């Protein structure tokens, strides 16, 4: 059985972001990088399945981007992936989700992956499109926003999170692709001995130019910080008067007391 | 020396996340209960932190000293009691075997020390032999194929949890100096070995020290480290040369955390209608703390790189220990000052750190002993 997990390296969300010189993405200077949080859920789920099914399973981690993404790949290897594919692309951020999905699909086609795991979305672009478009291009079943996952004899039972806290359960036959949501699992810390061992695991590097066949379908035309909102409203006076003021505001400006 | 930048960065990220997610949230609870929960010890074991400095061929990670320092800086962003859990295995409790042990001793103990299955402890200090370690009174008298150890060891870190003790005792009753001392490996449960009660300490609650008593404690000849009598004091000094740099790194990590606490308080706390960080006298304390912590960090890394090049760091490691431990106490004092009355209240981590870091000027050689080592080395070099 062959498993693939696709990950992206994103800036740490505690970083200070500023638009790049073209104003279409963020500037990459002075940023700390980490594995996309949703992709950590994907890696953890894939590793758990690999551990459950044993040595006959091969789990590959794939990432597209410049050299720095190897750090995220190494983390996935230390978490338990068997080997890795780094699709070298210094300007991955300039590609739209369709192109990224196409690159993955071109790579994965004919490789015989039974299951592909991705994060629900990336924390920086947040399109939530890549996973489903990979599935579409490969002709795989797919299921998004997983908060529960079971696998038995070629059938995936996926619990999905829908709006308003409602859950749904979907069964799919492999080959299939799932996108993973917060709450699916608690990603493990890569242990220090496993980090050392992962140094010996194979990372194949491919040039994106050998895999990119699709033209972009969308382009970001502007990237900017929202204008600052005004300061908060400070109420003053005695407690009874403050309560009246708060009730008045809640009635007037919200639906809380209607 | 950093062997592989991306590997060490990943290790630092892992430790940093673990410290933030798991250790800092429970540090106050551990201090209150004077105990670290078993599941945390298990997690620290699973992460592989016990094996930082033990060579790879004996099941450890075999980090260079510079790499170890970088991991320790990160681990010590949390209360120093968590570092203390691994401290003896990474440092004094295992180093005697790593540096001078026979191959048989290394194979027997190091894999278990690296995995954390076994906790190591270093029993040098005695009631009458603290700074003057060479005058220790414990004896180990040869009796056939055994030695019989008698004496009391004081303030022994991790003794209640230890499975193996590195014990220093006098094997040559004629030689009252350092040359009459040998180092032994004594396993927990050996008849004649007993523990005193846990000491009630000023700080570092959750980490434990107690007396270790030897009363006709019989160990085989094979328990002598390196298999040779009279080498014990040298082993102790070599161990301390390295481990003092480790303690200095602990001080650097704690300094960074205390500065963070003081800074975040200073930008939030308002007096005279503005954050106290706007006041220059507060800024001066923050700046001095930052500069001194940076100096300590730089010293530790420089010394570690020298050690990794197999150079003697006796003077430098004492400089690091002296400067970093004095510095972290000054930084903690300033932090209490910045927090004002709140800094004296237990709800704030700064109050706890102020008490916790005081130990660093005392153990593994007081500041005054570091001064003596540094000065003696300087004078020896010129002569």
pLDDT digits over B54-64, tens only?
999 999 999 99
Substitution target in B9, B10, B72 with the highest count of A β-carbons within 10 Å is B10
Domain ranges of chain B: 5-115, 120-229, 234-382
Res B383 pLDDT > 90: no
DSSP-derived pairing of the beta strands A115-119 and A176-180:
parallel
Res A256 pLDDT > 80: no
Quick check: A11 and A26 in contact, CB under 8 A?
yes
Percentage above 70 pLDDT, chain A: 100
Chain B residues closer than 8 Å to A196 by CB: 7, 56, 61
Return d(Cα B55, Cα B294) in angstroms, integer: 29
The answer to whether residue A190 neighbours chain B at the CB level (below 8 Å) is: yes
The answer to whether residue B117 neighbours chain A at the CB level (below 8 Å) is: no
What was the pLDDT predicted at A258? 63
Question: Which residues does residue A63 pair with via DSSP β-bridges, in sequence order?
Answer: A7, A86
The structure tokens 């949390």 sit at: B78
Instruction: Tell me yes or no: is domain B120-229 CATH 2.40.170.20.
Output: no
| B149-190 confidence digits (pLDDT tens) | 999 999 999 999 999 999 999 999 888 888 999 999 999 999
Chain B residues closer than 8 Å to A203 by CB: none
A2-210: which CATH architecture? 3-Layer(aba) Sandwich (3.40)
What number is the average pLDDT over the span B229-237? 93
In this complex, the residue of A34, A71, A191 whose CB is nearest that of residue B48 is A191
Active site residues of B: 364
Residue B26 distance to chain A (closest CA, Å): 18
| A104-157 confidence digits (pLDDT tens) | 999 999 999 999 999 999 999 999 999 999 999 999 999 999 999 999 999 999
What number is the average pLDDT over the span B23-27? 97
DSSP A229: P
CB contact under 8 A, B14 and A74: no
The answer to whether residue A200 neighbours chain B at the CB level (below 8 Å) is: no
CB contact under 8 A, A189 and B4: no
Beta strands in A102-166 (DSSP E): 115-119, 141-152, 155-161
Res B255 pLDDT > 80: yes
What number is the average pLDDT over the span A98-105? 97
CB contact under 8 A, A193 and B11: no
CATH homologous superfamily for the domain B234-382: Butyryl-CoA Dehydrogenase, subunit A, domain 3 (1.20.140.10)
pLDDT tier at B131 (50, 70, 90 boundaries)?
A: confident
What number is the average pLDDT over the span B210-234? 95
Q: Could you tell me which of B231, B230, B228, B260 has the C-alpha nearest to residue B332?
A: B260
Return d(Cα A55, Cα B26) in angstroms, integer: 38
Return d(Cα B166, Cα B97) in angstroms, integer: 9
Res B272 pLDDT > 80: yes
What number is the average pLDDT over the span B97-116? 96
Percentage above 70 pLDDT, chain B: 100
Res B318 pLDDT > 90: yes
In this complex, the residue of B4, B13, B18 whose CB is nearest that of residue A199 is B4
| B360-377 confidence digits (pLDDT tens) | 999 989 999 999 999 999
In angstroms, the Cα distances linking B172 to A111, B176, B220, B232 are 72, 8, 17, 11
Chain B residues closer than 8 Å to A191 by CB: 14, 46-48
Res A230 pLDDT > 90: no
What number is the average pLDDT over the span A34-49? 97
What number is the average pLDDT over the span A181-186? 95
| A200-218 confidence digits (pLDDT tens) | 999 999 999 999 999 999 9
- What dotted CATH number matches B5-115? 1.10.540.10
CB contact under 8 A, B7 and A196: yes
**Long-range residue pairs from B21-26, CB within 8 A, at least 24 positions apart, any chain:** B23/B78, B23/B79, B23/B82, B24/B77, B24/B78, B24/B79
B residues 27-86 closer than 8 Å to A (CB): 46-49, 51-52, 56, 61, 71
pLDDT tier at A16 (50, 70, 90 boundaries)?
A: confident
- The ipTM is 0.89
Radius of gyration over every alpha carbon of chain B, rounded to an integer in angstroms: 21
Residue A191 distance to chain B (closest CA, Å): 4
């Amino acid at each position: 059985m062959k498993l693939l997990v696709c990950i992206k390296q994103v800036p740490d969300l505690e970083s200070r972001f500023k638009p790049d010189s073209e104003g279409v993405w963020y500037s990459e200077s002075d940023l700390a990088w980490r594995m996309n949080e949703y992709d950590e859920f994907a890696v953890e789920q894939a590793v758990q399945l690999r551990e459950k099914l044993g040595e006959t399973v091969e789990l590959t981690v794939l990432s597209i981007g410049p050299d720095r993404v190897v750090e995220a790949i190494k983390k996935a290897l230390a978490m338990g992936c068997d080997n890795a594919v780094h699709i070298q692309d210094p300007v991955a951020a300039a590609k739209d989700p369709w192109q990224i999905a196409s690159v993955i699909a071109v790579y994965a086609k004919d490789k015989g992956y039974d299951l592909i795991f991705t994060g629900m979305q990336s924390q920086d672009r947040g399109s939530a499109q890549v996973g489903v478009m990979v599935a579409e291009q490969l002709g795989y079943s797919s299921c998004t926003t997983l908060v529960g996952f079971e696998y038995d004899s070629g059938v995936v039972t996926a619990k999905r999170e829908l709006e308003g806290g409602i859950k749904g359960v979907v069964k799919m036959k492999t080959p299939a692709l799932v996108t993973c949501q917060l709450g699916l699992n608690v990603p493990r810390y890569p242990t220090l001995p496993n980090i050392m061992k992962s140094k010996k695991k194979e990372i194949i590097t491919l040039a994106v130019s050998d895999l990119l066949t699709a033209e972009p379908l969308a382009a970001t035309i502007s990237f900017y910080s929202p204008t600052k909102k005004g300061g908060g409203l400070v109420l003053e006076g005695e407690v009874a008067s403050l309560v009246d003021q708060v009730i008045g505001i809640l009635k007037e400006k919200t639906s809380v007391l209607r | 020396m950093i062997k592989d930048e991306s590997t060490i960065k990943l290790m630092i990220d892992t430790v940093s996340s673990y410290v933030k997610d798991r250790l800092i949230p429970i540090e106050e609870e551990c201090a209150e209960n004077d105990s670290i929960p078993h599941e945390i010890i298990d997690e620290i074991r699973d992460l592989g932190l016990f094996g930082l400095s033990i060579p790879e061929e004996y099941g450890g990670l075999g980090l260079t000293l510079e790499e170890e320092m970088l991991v320790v800086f990160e681990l010590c962003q949390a209360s120093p009691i968590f570092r203390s859990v691994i401290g003896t295995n990474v440092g004094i409790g295992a180093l005697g075997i790593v540096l001078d042990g026979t191959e048989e001793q290394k194979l027997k103990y190091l894999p278990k020390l690296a995995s954390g299955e076994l906790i190591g402890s270093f029993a040098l200090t005695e009631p009458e032999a603290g700074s003057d370690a060479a005058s220790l009174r414990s004896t180990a008298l040869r009796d056939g194929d055994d030695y019989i150890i008698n004496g009391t060891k004081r303030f022994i870190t991790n003794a209640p949890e230890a499975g193996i003790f590195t014990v220093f005792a006098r094997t040559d009753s004629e030689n009252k100096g350092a040359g009459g001392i040998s180092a032994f490996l004594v396993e927990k449960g050996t008849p004649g070995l007993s523990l005193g009660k846990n000491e009630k300490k000023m700080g570092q609650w959750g980490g434990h020290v107690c007396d270790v008593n030897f009363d006709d404690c019989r160990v085989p000849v094979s328990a002598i480290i390196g298999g040779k009598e009279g080498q014990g004091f040298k082993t102790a000094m070599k161990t301390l040369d390295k481990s003092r740099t480790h303690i200095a790194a602990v001080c650097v990590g704690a300094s960074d955390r205390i500065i963070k606490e003081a800074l975040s308080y200073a930008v939030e706390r308002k007096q005279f209608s503005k954050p106290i960080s706007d006041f220059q006298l507060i800024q001066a304390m923050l700046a001095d703390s930052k500069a001194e912590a940076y100096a300590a960090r730089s010293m530790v890394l420089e010394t570690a790189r020298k050690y990794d090049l197999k150079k003697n760091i006796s003077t430098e490691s004492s400089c690091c220990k002296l400067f970093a431990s004095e510095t972290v106490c000054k930084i903690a004092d300033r932090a209490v000052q910045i927090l004002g009355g709140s800094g004296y209240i237990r709800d704030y981590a700064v109050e706890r750190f102020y008490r916790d870091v005081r130990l660093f000027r005392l153990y593994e050689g007081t500041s005054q002993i570091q001064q003596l080592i540094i000065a003696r080395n300087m004078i020896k070099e010129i002569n």
